[in-house]
A and B are shown apart, each in its own frame.
Chain A
Amino acid sequence: MIEDLIGAGFALMTWSNVAAMVFGTLIGIVIGALPGLTTTIGLAILIPLSFGLSPLVALGLMAGLYNGSMYGGAIPAILLNIPGTPAAIATTFDGYPMTEQGNAASALRVACFSSAVGGFSSALALLLLAPPLSLVTLAFGPPEYFWIATFGLVSIAVLIGGDPIKGMISALLGLLISSVGMDTVTGRIRFSFGRLELVDGVNIVVVLIGLFALPRVLQMAEDAVTRGVRVSDLKIGRGQSTPFPIAHLIPTWIRSSVIGIMVGILPGAGGNIAAFLSYNEAKRSDRDPESFGKGNPKGVAAAEAGNSSDNAASMIPTLTLGVPGNAIAALIMGGLLVHGLQPGPSLFRDNGEIVYGFVLQMMITSVLLFALGGMIATRIFAQVLRVPQVMLAPMIVALMCLGLYTVNNSQFELFMMIGFGVFGYILMRMQFPLPPLILGVILGGMAEQNLRTALLISRGDWWHLLASPISKTIAGLVVLVLLVPLYRHVRERQSEALKNG
């Protein structure tokens, strides 16, 4: 492990790798700052385009984009009260009031420092937790993997968005897509419609790009047409900004980082949940909770440290078990797959240098935010808000198609990507959450394969599924998560009854 870590450290000290991290972080900040462009769409475009690069360069770009965009989202949140990414919603609560009070510069500085601290502590958690966990995961056999995959599916379906029913339907659609292709347990080919392109199943990268990039682009184009191009002059208040003593934020950072890391490790939630939870916790534990929402720098710090400390931590289950907990983790997993890197215990064993390299990149790119997210830079980044969205949309589509075609030289996949894009757009308009669908595609095959393998090994004995303590624990968690909507329902009933009675 130490050898791999040192090897990876040296491997990163080449011009191309340093450039990848700097460039990735810069694009990340820009993408995060542009409302409409999010971390997911950025990664969905980048992954196929990075195909021709060496794995470490590609992963450096991805790590930079991830950390950069989580901070970038704060820029319009603070300046314009428009969150650049969903994860930056909580940043608007105190960030925009600070701008109104003429403290925009101070708010941006707090956001930048908090993002960097959150990202760094998260990467540290990844570095310390993932390698030992990857050794333990050999104890995970087919029954354990079946439960883990089920847990991931259930969590994301139930916990994301307001409507668990729509979440479940979305996850089930994902399961349906995952059943296309060769059934490895019988050798039979399912739903391939005689196309050899579908024998291996639907390419996960195609689904990722189609579902996460195209619907957003269509939405952007639609907004540009229906609402027109917004031209707003951007001014960042100079001079009057009162500098805030950064040291006062340390307790907030520690609390938010712990929350963010835990949210990251558990499947289902992403940066936006981490930000909300840490914001609420910061407010609750403060001596003066009334000052939150009125321009308290601690509110900005809690939200930004929270959403960034979820980043690297969400890679822990992805890298060690091959189970992504949210959409961004699924995209990074797609990025690894494009480079022939199979997440799971073998990743740390066979590609130690690359995987430790990625962990270090997550760490370095969060520190890079100090340098690249500084005031002058932020002033420049804020200018990207002037780029009319109507121009961005076609550019993004061109990049997507170009990138995807280079991966497998397949026209069929291009059409499939557009098909998934249109499908995703319809689902989005009908308020169906898309992340459960994509996890359904990834985890559905995993759940099915492992369930059937477990039964083959046990020769049809279903109790084998609950034989080990690990299986029992995860199965218990699945049941708990499934009870959440019921619990919510009962609580709502009670509070209604209280109101009425």
Chain B
Amino acid sequence: MKFVTSMLTTSVFALSSVAAFAQSDYPTRQIELMVGFSAGGNLDILARQAEPFLEKHMGGADIVVINRPGAGGALMQTQLAGAEPDGYTLGLLSMPGVVTVLFGGDVDYEIDDFEYSGTFTFEPHSIMVGTDTPYETPEDLVAAARENPGTITIGGAGIGSAAHLAVKVLERAADVEFAFIPSPGSAEMQNQVMGGHIEGGVTTISSSYTRHQENQARVIGTLSSERTTVAPEIATFGEAGYEVEWGALRGIAAPKGTPQEVMDKITEAVRLTMEDPEFQEIAAQNNMLLTFMDGAQFEASVRKIHSDLEEIWADEPWIEQ
């Protein structure tokens, strides 16, 4: 066994030195951009819309988007962590999902297994409530939860999901307690809110805002400090004095050990894509909230969320072991 391991390590070293040798003219062959969700999902749409621009800004590189759905993205992330660090296997990560699956599951990658490149979007989560509930502002909801701890029903995708942890984060920031009602996904949660079966729910602002505009539900605030460009009239929980910054941050990562020079090229391509007016137009049509972070900022954000969740987990693990 030891022999095999050392053989593998040697060959990995050998290959990475080959990669280092060839990196100056990177890319010389096809790059795989993996997406951990099925075709047609939000992340897949982002990948496919960014792909031609990344190709253009990487000097006519050949990039192909590959769907590797499973285990809430963990299947792809595990593959990415174990892939050759030569810049030809990349993944489009979606935070906080990359981190949330690390708690209480069978996942064996770590946030240290990746090199982080540029991000495309940050979309805050938001709280929507039924139109027949009395809550109009973040303060209303928090005050009601303070009065009746653990009774106000707030729905969202299952335990341990981004939506569930958004509620946890808010509970801690405002020092209140809700009754979290897990549902199979965001669509089911929205139906339950609109039908008056639960009082509120958590989902990203672009999906909740559609219901708000249709007067089927009311969005009372985003879980962020700054208002969004797609829904500027929606208040934030930050304004109301609750310090939360929770949303879907999407950017590119590569396996650990990918040469810095290659990472810089990818990050530069992401930056140029984000500045491309044509891409901005497409993003606006799709209600994407463009936010560029470079690799260092992206990594810092991942580490911050990870340590926050570790703290919550130590305090009150949300999955029984």
Q: Which residues of A contact B (CB under 8 A)?
A: 51, 137-142, 182-189, 192, 194, 196-197, 199-200, 339-340, 342, 344-346, 350, 408-410, 445, 449, 453, 456-457, 459
Contact = CB atoms under 8 A, between A and B. Distances in A.
Contacts of B39: 51, 340
Interface of B: 38-41, 66-72, 74-75, 78, 104-107, 153, 157-161, 164, 179, 181-185, 187-188, 190-192, 194-195, 197-198, 318-320
Nearest to A145: B188
A456 B71 contact: no
A199 B159 contact: no
Given A185-B182, A186-B319, A142 B105 contact: no
A137 B190 CA distance: 13
A410 B70 contact: yes
A448 to B, nearest CB: 11
A200 B76 CA distance: 13
Nearest to B180: A456
Q: Which 4 pairs, one residue from A and one from B, show the smallest C-beta to C-beta distance?
A: A184-B158, A187-B159, A340-B40, A141-B197
Contacts of A459: 179
Contacts of A340: 38-41
5 contacts: A196-B71, A196-B74, A340-B41, A342-B185, A457-B197
Given A340-B38, A456-B179, A187 B70 contact: no
B163 to A, nearest CB: 11
Contact of A184 (B70, B104, B184): B184
A395 to B, nearest CB: 26
A197 B71 contact: yes
A187 B185 contact: no
Contact of B181 (A139, A183, A346, A453): A453
B158 A189 contact: no
Contacts of A199: 70-72, 74-75, 105-106
A200 B195 contact: no
A457 B181 contact: yes
A184 B183 contact: yes
A409 B74 CA distance: 15
Contacts of A200: 69-72
A449 B195 CA distance: 17
A186 B180 CA distance: 11
Given A196-B71, A340-B40, A457-B153, A186 B320 contact: yes
B75 A344 contact: no
Given A457-B153, A457-B197, A189 B38 contact: no
Contact of A453 (B68, B183, B190): B183
Nearest to A346: B187
A350 B72 CA distance: 23
A382 B160 CA distance: 57
B198 A457 contact: yes
B106 A192 contact: yes
A456 B106 contact: no
Contacts of B153: 457
Given A456-B181, A457-B198, 7 more contacts: A185-B182, A189-B105, A196-B71, A340-B40, A342-B187, A344-B187, A350-B187
Contacts of B185: 342
Contacts of A453: 181-183
Contact of B159 (A51, A137, A186): A186
Name the residue among A192, A453, A456 with the largest chain B CB count within 10 angstroms. Answer: A453
Nearest to B164: A187
Contacts of B190: 346
A340 B69 CA distance: 12
A167 B66 CA distance: 40
B146 to A, nearest CB: 19
Contacts of A346: 187, 190-191
A410 B75 CA distance: 11
A411 B235 CA distance: 47
B192 A142 contact: yes
Nearest to B160: A187
A196 B179 CA distance: 29
A241 B188 CA distance: 57
Nearest to A140: B195
A188 B319 contact: yes
A344 B67 contact: no
A163 B191 CA distance: 38
Given A182-B158, A184-B182, A339 B194 contact: no
Contact of A138 (B105, B107, B194): B194
A449 B184 CA distance: 8
A295 B210 CA distance: 59
B203 to A, nearest CB: 12
